[in-house]
Chains A and B, each alone.
Chain A
Amino acid sequence: QLQLQESGPGLVKPSETLSLTCTVSGGSISNSGYFWGWIRQPPGKGLEWLGTIYYNGGTYYNPSLKGRVTISVDTSNNQFSLKLESVTAADTAVYYCARRKVIYNYFDPWGQGTLVTVSS
């Protein structure tokens, strides 16, 4: 059964870069039928899509993040990563990684999520 697990610092200082990694187990990240994505959820608020990557490195990003986000893939380690630059308190959220089906655009499964707090 495919599983995803987020890892990275739980506390980031304002203006610095948030970095998270998602490790995929039970299946290959190089499966051509899927994208791999990041979604976040600020405390008490809804879901926000951050971006998606394909195994060959092709990416889509949320335009509202204005170029602050970068997603990369490491097929040799079955991982993909998120970098969010110049963070502020508004970037405090639970960050989820998830697998997204090509064409049909649904996310399943999801990682357990990791809370990242932006604070000095």
Chain B
Amino acid sequence: QSVLTQPPSVSAAPGQKVTISCSGSSSNIGNNYVSWYQQVPGAVPKLLIYETKERPSGIPDRISGSKSGTSATLGITGLQTGDEADYYCGTWDSSLSAVVFGGGTKLTVL
């Protein structure tokens, strides 16, 4: 099992909002920056959020990231069918001296 815990799946209707959680500990999320990646089936993972809440150029502002304590959250508003993908959180774990990823969350836009 992964060091970071994500729900296996989430779903919502087009136009609605969804949040994806990523739970960790003080050795990882609690004291390090979090990043989020989107992976459409068959494609390369794409950076969505870095430094916990920053968006790379080209990522729309309906995508957001936040953190509270040892949990991080990815938010997506105005859901589109093109948002259907797997989403992964990642960070550094200071105790393991290792990069850790969540197990991934499959987003279905109903």
Q: Chain A interface secondary structure, helix, strand, loop or mixed?
A: strand
**What interface size band does chain A fall in?**
20 to 34
Complex Cα spacing A37 to B47, Å: 15
B44, A107: Cβ atoms under 8 Å? Answer: no
User: In the complex, what distance in Å separates the CA atom of A48 from the CA atom of B26?
Assistant: 21
Q: B50 touching A110 by the CB < 8 A rule?
A: no
Q: Are B100 and A106 in contact (CB under 8 A)?
A: no
Q: SS class of chain B's interface: helix, strand, loop or mixed?
A: strand
Which positions 39-81 of chain B face chain A at CB distance < 8 Å? 44-47, 50-51, 56
Cβ–Cβ < 8 Å partners of B101 in chain A: 46-49
Residues of A within 8 A of B (CB): 37, 46-49, 52, 60-63, 96, 100-101, 103-113
Q: Which residues of B contact A (CB under 8 A)?
A: 2, 32-33, 35, 37, 44-47, 50-51, 56, 86, 88, 90-92, 96-104
